[in-house]
Amino acid sequence: MLAVRGRIEEFGDTQVAIVTFTDPAHLDAYRAHLDVPFPIVTDVDRRLYRALGLARGTRRQVWSFGTLKMYAQLLRQGRRLRPATDDIRQLGADVVVDRDGRIVAIFRPPTPDARPGVDELLAALA
């Protein structure tokens, strides 16, 4: 999502949003932590996650080499890591929905660090 922020103008009038299962009581802290200009909605019951076939990952998936490398990079940049308050094993996805509400692409990365790049998301929009 952070990469999208730097190239948001390339998405034109497309609405970018984040869906999380964070408790609404923690949503302000979640928003502050991510520091993104996008709307954030919460799916506490994970209905959308189930509908998209998003499972909980194994420890090996969640703590992959790439994920550990990503956290090390954040620490080197001065970011402070906080203890998780949510289910860290819930895998996410990036979903592209067209103007008619149809899903045109779902990216289900096998590990948290394997998200699609901005170019892949823009290609799915085309």
CATH number assigned to the domain comprising residue 108? 3.40.30
* Top-confidence residue, 33 or 69: 69
pLDDT in tens, 74-115: 889 887 777 777 788 888 888 888 878 888 888 888 888 888
Residue 89 CA from chain centroid, whole number:
13
Q: How many domains does the chain have?
A: 1
At 1 the pLDDT is 55
pLDDT in tens, 16-40: 788 888 889 888 888 887 777 778 8
List the beta bridge partners of residue 97. Answer: 103
Q: Which residues contact 64 (CB under 8 A, 6 or more apart)?
A: 111, 112, 113
**Residue-number span of the structural domain to which 118 is assigned:** 2-125
Give me 112's structure tokens. Answer: 């948290």
Decide if 74 contacts 81 (C-beta within 8 A). yes
